[in-house]
Amino acid sequence: MIAHVFPGQGSQYVGMAKEFAEAFPAAKAKMQEADELLHVHLSRTMFEGPEEVLRQTDYTQPAIFLHSIIAIECDEERNSAQALAGHSLGEYTALCVAGAITFRDALTLVHTRGLLMAEAGRRSTGTMAAIIGMDEQKLSALCKDVEANHDSIVRPANLNSPGQIVISGATFGVQEVMRRAKLEGVRIAKELPVSGAFHSPLMQYAADGLSERLASTNILQPSVPVFSNVTAEPVESPSDIRRLLIEQLTAPVRWEQSVKNMYEFGVREFVEYGPGKVLQGLISRTLNDVKTSGVEKPKQVAA
């Protein structure tokens, strides 16, 4: 069985998807449609930058979504998937590919999501950090201890692969967990260049705003099982999809468990569509007997 997976924020780079636009008229048309729908120069920013603009969440999120959608639509050799999943904003890509949300609605949602997350970051300042070399149970206990004793929110945010977890929360809480984790001998405790404490309670403003937008968005049952970030299980009903997309903003991304659950479901091959190879790396570190590959550029270019 095959799963198609879609990356989240952090995979963007100047020049992304440019080869698709040059090789496929349909890709160029899709990008023009996105520019017109969002009333921004999204495609030009993707192709030319500047990088500091592309890093802004209201550009980053639709850019990665658009790249992934174009990559899968232009892959003439793709095989049918029996499961879909996306990391954070990539979940919207998965739902779009599954036919649960239209391209235009999904693009509008991820753009709105980026704006709301940026505003939430301004209203409730915080940060994120990668912790490499500590298991989930021990790191969760450390976060709870710091939060309880210092009244500073800090939570596991991205449970990416064995021993690779991103924490998120108030700046003091995150830095205190980093300090204590280093004392306990973790290999890496590195603060990330982000504009907010994503996937933590500090994103509640964004969750409230997105709830209003999702309430008016038509959502259908997915044609292919889509594994939710929040539960790591397939989500089917439109009401559950809405609820979990809202919860996703303040809850951890359970990527490692999603990958394991897709394996239990029968998946033995994972294909990542979109910029970068982050998910291929995480999957390979989680499972040692599966095939991973990616479609980031047109295959005649990638070759």
**E strands, 151-252, where?**
154-161, 164-169, 188-191, 226-227, 234-235
Catalytic status, residue 88: yes
Of 88, 124, 152, 228, which one is the catalytic site residue?
88
Residue 170 identity (one-letter amino acid): A
Residue 9 identity (one-letter amino acid): Q
Catalytic status, residue 111: no
- Token code pair at residue 126: 């915080």
| Contacts for 240 with CB less than 8 Å, ≥ 6 apart | none
Q: Is the CB of residue 78 less than 8 Å from the CB of residue 51?
A: no
Q: How far apart are CA 225 and CA 37, in angstroms?
A: 28
- Token code pair at residue 187: 């290999």
- Token code pair at residue 211: 């709830």
Of 43, 168, 199, 200, which one is the catalytic site residue?
199
Residue 211 identity (one-letter amino acid): S
Q: How far apart are CA 184 and CA 176, in angstroms?
A: 12
Catalytic residue set: 88, 199
